[in-house]
């Protein structure tokens, strides 16, 4: 069965978990850490990405996001870059993508930026940092647009309402999970993202 063929109404909580929360961090070094922006990225994602940089996981630090939130005086990538510098990341290591308004645009604009600054042929591994429940959608969009030779490592950050052990207990958590599944299916059906077979371990869940 392909991902686009899934009926969300038929999925169990265990199957949703197996679909979304399946990306442990392998600890591998990469060429760049890519942080996907969001309204809560300063709190939920940035500290993790900075810690990975300071641990020597990658020499470059890409922040992707062009939204301007009401409580931020600057666009999100600029605000996050400033915060990253305050946390010890040198400005010379930071790349900012400031045009994207949604995940697929994060991917497209980040690809163009990396092609212009590093060169896609020089990239061998990208370390993705986003909320854990968002990682599946981000990864499948990345693999659809970036060259096939690039590998990925994953560092999903914890969201207080949308973890594998609690998303089903709140309307917000359920909404997040529904948005991730339906958003990727819609992108596939529009021809924007490549479809893929649902892993056997997902279908085997009760």
List pLDDT tens digits, range 76-116. Answer: 888 899 999 999 999 999 999 999 889 999 999 999 999 99
What does CATH list as the number for 3-203?
3.40.50.620
CA angle, residues 8, 11, 16, in degrees to nearest 5:
95
Cβ within 8 Å of residue 42, ≥6 positions away:
79, 80, 83
**Statement: residue 25 has pLDDT above 70:** yes
List pLDDT tens digits, range 127-180. Answer: 999 999 999 999 999 999 999 999 999 999 988 999 999 999 999 999 999 999
Cβ within 8 Å of residue 124, ≥6 positions away:
30, 31, 149, 150, 151
CB distance 145 to 108 below 8 Å = yes
List pLDDT tens digits, range 172-196. Answer: 999 999 999 999 999 999 999 999 9
CB distance 35 to 129 below 8 Å = yes
Tell me the torsion sign for CA atoms 47, 48, 51, 57.
negative
Strand order in the sheet with 32-36: 94-97, 60-64, 32-36, 125-131, 151-157
CB distance 45 to 35 below 8 Å = yes
The continuous run of DSSP H or E covering 184 comes out as helix 171-189
């Amino acid at each position: 069965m392909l991902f686009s063929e899934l009926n969300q109404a038929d999925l169990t909580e265990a199957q949703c978990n197996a679909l979304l929360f399946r990306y442990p961090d392998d600890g591998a070094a990469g060429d760049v850490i890519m942080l996907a922006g969001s309204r809560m990225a300063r709190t939920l994602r940035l500290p993790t990405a900075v810690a990975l940089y300071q641990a020597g996981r990658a020499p470059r630090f890409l922040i992707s996001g062009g939204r301007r939130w009401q409580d931020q005086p600057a666009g999100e990538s600029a605000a996050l870059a400033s915060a990253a510098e305050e946390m010890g990341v040198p400005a010379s290591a930071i790349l900012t993508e400031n045009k994207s308004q949604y995940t697929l645009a994060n991917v497209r604009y980040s690809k163009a930026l990396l092609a212009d600054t590093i060169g896609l042929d020089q990239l061998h591994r990208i370390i993705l940092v986003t909320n854990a429940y968002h990682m599946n959608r981000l990864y499948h969009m990345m693999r659809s647009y970036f060259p096939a030779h690039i590998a990925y490592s994953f560092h999903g950050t914890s969201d207080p309402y949308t973890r594998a052990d609690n998303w089903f207990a709140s309307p917000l958590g359920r909404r997040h999970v529904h948005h991730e599944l339906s958003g990727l299916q819609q992108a596939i059906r529009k021809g924007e993202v490549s479809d893929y077979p649902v892993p056997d371990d997902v279908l085997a869940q009760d």
